[in-house]
Amino acid sequence: MDEITGKLVVVTGAAGNLGKAVVKAFLNSGATVFGIDHREGRMEEFAQTAKYENKFHPMEKVDITNMESVLTLAKEINKSFGEIDVLVNTVGAFTMDAGVHDLDRKTFQRMMGLNVYSFLNVTKAFVPQMIKKGYGKVISISARAALKGSTKMGAYAASKAALLRLTESLAAELKSENVQVNSVLPGTIDTPENRQDMPYADYSKWVSPEKLADVILFLASPDSDAISGAAIPVYGG
């Protein structure tokens, strides 16, 4: 997409299965990408690819559940490059554990931390840049599970539902600022980890990270300017 060329894009969880696909999609479309990851050395394929030179900026060992760390990073990016155009938060976690009546606080807090507070922190850090610029796109990754509770998935479903409601609320709050906020709702994503955990599943019915990245790229483009507060289902076959 030519409309993406030159845009400044922040992708959190950039070294994950979905994060890598999103980073690659934006880089191949001509964007400058700041890839945030909590570990070190997992984004070498982008850093060492010649055609991405000066276009990919790895931001490693960043805990986006820590507000101060994210605020500091946002200030650094703003000072060196200016206000960002697109924020994609792919950070998240899944659990299928105890029933609600037996759910422990630690599990629930982990789901809320990675699926909800990560979004709150990055929007607090980067949305003011978009408001100042008078332009922006924010994309969260919720889940089909956000729409309905399911057995032994209470903590996960609750956290993804909270994320979806926050995304919709942020969209309403920013509608006069020319900042569109949307969410993508994947079904089961086709990753090596999911295949290992579900060896007898029909993988043809799962959605690939690359297909999700295509939807995210559309939501980041001017073609989606009339869309805000939407939850886009991407369930696969």
Give me the sheet containing 32-36, strands edge to edge.
56-59, 32-36, 8-12, 86-89, 136-141, 179-186, 231-234
156 is catalytic: yes
Q: Are 127 and 136 in contact (CB under 8 A)?
A: yes
Secondary structure of the chain: what % helix, strand, coil (to 5)?
Answer: 50, 15, 35
From the list 135, 156, 203, 235, the catalytic residue is 156
User: Residue 156, by phi and psi: left (phi above 0), alpha (psi -120 to 50) or beta?
Assistant: alpha
179: enclosing H helix or E strand: strand 179-186
Query: Up-side HSE of residue 64: CA atoms within 13 Å toward CB?
Result: 32
Phi, psi of 81 (to 5 degrees): -125, -20
Q: Which residues are catalytic?
A: 156
